[in-house]
């Protein structure tokens, strides 16, 4: 070790190892500690001489991941050992067989699940999505695989500063799209929150810094209010004989930003930035559930509750095992304060998720929602026909953060994602029920298959022996299970039409003196809105697609698979003259027509001043997206190697379209006042205005041409000064799902 590390590094490595062993309450026996030291020595030997981008010895990374696994997730010795070894097979000459011989087949299996694929991929596939699929295959066999992967991702996000910006964007986008929702689904709230905050930090650094600063500025004031609010509650609980802890629960930076975006509110109007959490030791002789409601009742004796903000996740826990009682109360100063009430057991499950869930499950034979979720993932992985990107989309459906609870006619509870239909519920109960479903009764009223369910609905599925699956069902089902079962029903027929469609396309292209290749397939998939080549062949074979206009498609310049966009540039000249792009450096977006080599994505219409990224398509065209665009986040998670950081330079010549939404009190001449302010602005031109008035209130949408977000913000401030105007906000346009 002396050859490769400085004295300070040697001391720090030893300190980290000692702290790791101390942080693992399940690793206290001599045998367990020897196993951890053995794994550390192998990892240190395997990674000898390797340093991370930050310059520190590589061994710091597996040590940090193992500590997260032990301390923040709560895994035992095997999990810690696998975490120490998680990069050994992937990055060094050691094999899975070596790990199995030196440790155990189980530890080797976990390490294998954490090792990326080494095969080469067709250009139409996504390496990121394929690696994720392999990870999940290992997860359903041993959930520790995904827990260690989340720890690995968390440490990578904590140390992302040393990576080039294009890699930062790729990793942050992937984290926000898949890993943060996955942490949420596994009940790891602290990790989910930190992953979201760190993703925001690297995707929108200015927004992150601004909200962080405002939280710090308001925290002392908020803390004083919380202490004052908590004082009478503490007194009441102490009188009742409870041992408890009350602590402030600051809202995460990402959740504040997300609420600001969804509700078009400034930071100052997000009222529940800080809340309190009551964690109590249950008194003997009474159930935890009863005691949660007792504490809630005590608080209602002091403060008035907000009726529509009571969330009972004790009677009906969340699908990820989360239990708590959430309520919002009016303080004596006229502010709403959220209160979370949990027992110590509930708190541990909320903080450590799956690992704590298994600890408390040992005394129960009851199958949990987490068990059911793992079953659904296993079923999803059983369909080998899906390509990796389609699989990623279907898996994302199983990561629903928002869920509803519905009931069968006998009162059995079923948890479904928000937006699920009656047909989704039929498939959730049993595949045959889904295949024979003709409708449903919701709260005793007849509804169609496509009816969207609401939380609390009682649903009776109606069936007929004559009913057969319909391909059109695919258009309105939302759950991955329903989609997989519909595909399965049509698999034999689908294969026949796929073969037929491939022959039709091959014959057509032969007549045009062309051959099937990935480039041609991508053009046709984009034009005919097919997710992959099999869907394209299927639609051709079934007669849904007529190839009569295909020659025009094949002669046109291709465009991005996910979005249509409009050109800003005046052309690249000859195909070979497109400038080469260094993905490690930000793409500079200028007014120079000769260098103007990008297009604006129609899904989000970014304008100068927005945080943006560029996506490089198959023909090296650069499509500009806003960084918080849903399409962009998906692209970063599945095609991260094509993402290029971009930044605006001075924009004074070209104008970009933006939409502002205005609300206010309707009055005579209000429209002329609006148009006068806009026309008087030298940096803004108006394209169109649409105003509707009802019951003395008006709403208007104005399309304008501007050079920069600064001009837009200045205009918004001017419009807000008009008497009677209530709100003026930029309308974000997101056409994608």
What is the distance of C-alpha 272 from the center of its chain? 22
In this structure, the number of other CB atoms found within 10 A of the CB of residue 29 comes to 10
DSSP conformation letters of 515-561: ---HHHHHHHHHHTT-SSHHHHHHHHHHTSS-GGGHHHHHHSPP--S
Spatial separation of the C-alpha atoms in residues 62 and 159, rounded to whole Å: 13
Question: In b/e form, how buried is each residue of 541-577, taking b as 16+ CB within 10 angstroms?
Answer: bbeebebeebeeebeeebbbbbbebeeeeeebeeeee
Spatial separation of the C-alpha atoms in residues 340 and 644, rounded to whole Å: 42
Spatial separation of the C-alpha atoms in residues 234 and 169, rounded to whole Å: 45
Question: What residues does 692 pair with on adjacent strands?
Answer: 699
Q: In sequence order, which residues have a C-beta less than 8 Å from that of residue 501 and are 6 or more positions away?
A: 536, 537, 538, 539, 540, 541, 542, 545
Spatial separation of the C-alpha atoms in residues 583 and 562, rounded to whole Å: 21
Nearest alpha-carbon partner for 131 in 148, 112, 107: 112
| Alpha-helix runs per DSSP H in 68-164 | 77-84, 88-91, 96-102, 105-113, 127-139, 144-158
Question: In b/e form, how buried is each residue of 690-711, taking b as 16+ CB within 10 angstroms?
Answer: eeeeeeeebbbebebbbbbbeb
Asked if residue 276 lies in contact with residue 247, where contact means CB atoms within 8 angstroms, the answer is yes
Residue 228 main-chain phi, psi, to 5 deg: -65, -40
Q: Tokens representing 14?
A: 């030893």
What is the distance of C-alpha 274 from the center of its chain? 23
H/E element, 40:
helix 30-46
Nearest alpha-carbon partner for 588 in 533, 631, 651: 651
Question: What residues does 403 pair with on adjacent strands?
Answer: 417
Q: Tokens representing 485?
A: 């079962």
Active-site entry in 19, 71, 91, 506: 91
> Quick one: residue 378, left, alpha or beta (phi over 0 = left, psi -120 to 50 = alpha)?
alpha
Spatial separation of the C-alpha atoms in residues 431 and 522, rounded to whole Å: 33
Residue 614 main-chain phi, psi, to 5 deg: -110, 140
H/E element, 390:
helix 388-397
Q: In sequence order, which residues have a C-beta less than 8 Å from that of residue 468 and are 6 or more positions away?
A: 435
Q: Tokens representing 230?
A: 């908590």
C-alpha distances in angstroms, 477 versus 481, 485, 530?
Answer: 9, 11, 18
The yes-or-no answer on residue 90 being catalytic is yes
Spatial separation of the C-alpha atoms in residues 110 and 85, rounded to whole Å: 10
What is the distance of C-alpha 18 from the center of its chain? 35
Active-site entry in 19, 56, 90, 618: 90
Q: Tokens representing 362?
A: 């040992």
Q: Tokens representing 679?
A: 């026309």
Spatial separation of the C-alpha atoms in residues 245 and 261, rounded to whole Å: 33
3-state SS, 666-733, equals CCCCHHHHHHHHHHHCCCEEEEEEEEEEECCEEEEEEEEEECCHHHHHHHHHHHHCCCCEEEEEECCC
Q: Please report where in the chains the tokens 């079934």 appear, as a residue.
A: 542
Q: Angle 522-526-532 (CA atoms, 0-180°, nearest 5)?
A: 60
Per DSSP, the three-state class of 601 is strand
Nearest alpha-carbon partner for 258 in 633, 512, 513: 633
User: Which residues are marked as active site?
Assistant: 90-91
């Amino acid at each position: 070790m002396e050859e490769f590390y400085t004295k300070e590094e040697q001391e720090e490595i030893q300190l980290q190892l000692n702290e790791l062993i101390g942080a693992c309450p399940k690793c206290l026996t001599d045998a367990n500690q020897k196993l951890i030291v053995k794994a550390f020595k192998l990892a240190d030997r395997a990674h000898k001489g390797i340093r991370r981008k930050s310059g520190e010895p590589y061994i710091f990374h597996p040590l940090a991941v193992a500590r997260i696994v032990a301390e923040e997730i709560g895994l035992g010795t095997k999990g810690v050992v696998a975490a120490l070894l998680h990069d050994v097979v992937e990055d060094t000459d050691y094999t899975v067989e070596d790990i199995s011989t030196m440790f155990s087949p189980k530890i080797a299996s976990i390490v294998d699940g954490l090792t990326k694929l080494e095969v080469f991929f067709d250009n139409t596939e996504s390496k990121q999505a394929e690696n994720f699929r392999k990870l999940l295959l290992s997860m359903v066999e041993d959930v520790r695989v995904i827990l260690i992967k989340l720890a690995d991702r968390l440490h990578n996000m904590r140390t992302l500063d040393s990576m080039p910006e294009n890699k930062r964007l790729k990793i942050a986008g992937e984290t926000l799209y898949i890993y943060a929702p996955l942490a949420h689904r596994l009940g790891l709230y602290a990790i989910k929150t930190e992953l979201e905050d760190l993703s925001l930090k690297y995707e929108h650094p200015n927004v992150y810094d601004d909200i962080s600063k405002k939280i710090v500025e308001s925290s002392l004031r908020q803390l004083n209010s919380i202490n004052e609010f908590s004082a009478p509650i503490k007194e009441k609980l102490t009188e009742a004989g409870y041992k408890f802890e009350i602590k402030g629960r600051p809202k995460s930076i990402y959740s504040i930003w997300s609420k600001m975006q969804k509700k078009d509110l400034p930071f100052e109007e997000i009222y529940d930035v800080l809340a309190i959490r009551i964690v109590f030791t249950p008194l003997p002789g009474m159930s935890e559930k009863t005691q949660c409601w007792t504490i809630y009742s005590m608080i209602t004796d002091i403060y008035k509750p907000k009726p529509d903000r009571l969330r009972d996740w004790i009677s009906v826990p969340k699908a990820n095992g989360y239990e708590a009682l959430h309520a919002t109360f009016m303080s004596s100063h006229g502010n709403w304060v959220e209160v979370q009430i949990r027992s110590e057991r509930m708190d541990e499950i909320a903080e450590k998720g799956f690992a704590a869930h298994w600890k408390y499950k040992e005394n129960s034979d009851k199958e949990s929602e987490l068990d059911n979720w793992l079953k659904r993932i296993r079923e999803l992985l059983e369909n080998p026909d899906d390509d990796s990107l389609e699989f990623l989309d279907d898996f994302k459906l199983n990561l629903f953060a928002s869920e509803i609870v519905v009931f069968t006619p006998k009162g059995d509870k079923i948890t479904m994602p928000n937006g699920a239909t009656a047909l989704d519920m039929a498939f959730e109960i049993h595949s045959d029920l889904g295949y024979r479903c003709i409708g449903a009764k919701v709260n005793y009223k007849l509804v169609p298959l496509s009816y969207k369910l609401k939380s609390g609905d009682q649903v009776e599925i109606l069936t007929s022996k004559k009913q057969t699956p319909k391909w059109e069902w695919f258009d309105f089902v939302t759950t991955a299970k329903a989609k997989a079962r519909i595909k399965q029903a049509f698999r034999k027929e689908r294969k026949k039409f796929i073969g037929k469609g491939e022959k039709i396309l091959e014959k057509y292209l032969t007549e045009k003196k062309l051959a099937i290749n990935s480039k041609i397939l991508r053009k046709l998939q984009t034009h005919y809105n097919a997710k992959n080549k099999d869907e394209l062949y299927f639609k051709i074979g079934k007669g849904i697609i007529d190839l009569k206009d295909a020659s025009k498609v094949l002669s046109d310049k291709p465009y991005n698979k996910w979005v249509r966009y409009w050109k800003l540039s005046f052309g690249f000249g000859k195909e070979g003259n497109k400038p080469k792009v260094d993905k490690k450096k930000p793409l500079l977006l200028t007014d120079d027509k000769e260098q103007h080599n990008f297009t604006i994505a129609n899904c989000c219409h970014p304008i100068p001043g927005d945080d943006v990224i560029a996506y490089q398509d198959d023909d090296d065209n650069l499509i500009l997206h806003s960084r918080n665009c849903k399409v962009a986040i998906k692209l970063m998670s599945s095609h991260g190697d094509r993402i290029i950081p971009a930044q605006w330079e001075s924009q004074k010549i070209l104008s970009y379209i933006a939409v502002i939404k205005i609300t206010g009190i309707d009055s005579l001449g209000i429209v002329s006042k609006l148009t006068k302010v806009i026309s008087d602005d030298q940096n803004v031109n108006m394209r169109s205005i649409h105003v509707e008035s009802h019951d003395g209130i008006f709403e208007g949408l104005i399309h304008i041409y501007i050079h920069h977000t600064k001009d837009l913000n200045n205009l918004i401030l001017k419009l807000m000064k008009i008497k009677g105007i209530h709100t003026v906000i930029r309308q974000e346009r997101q056409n994608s799902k």
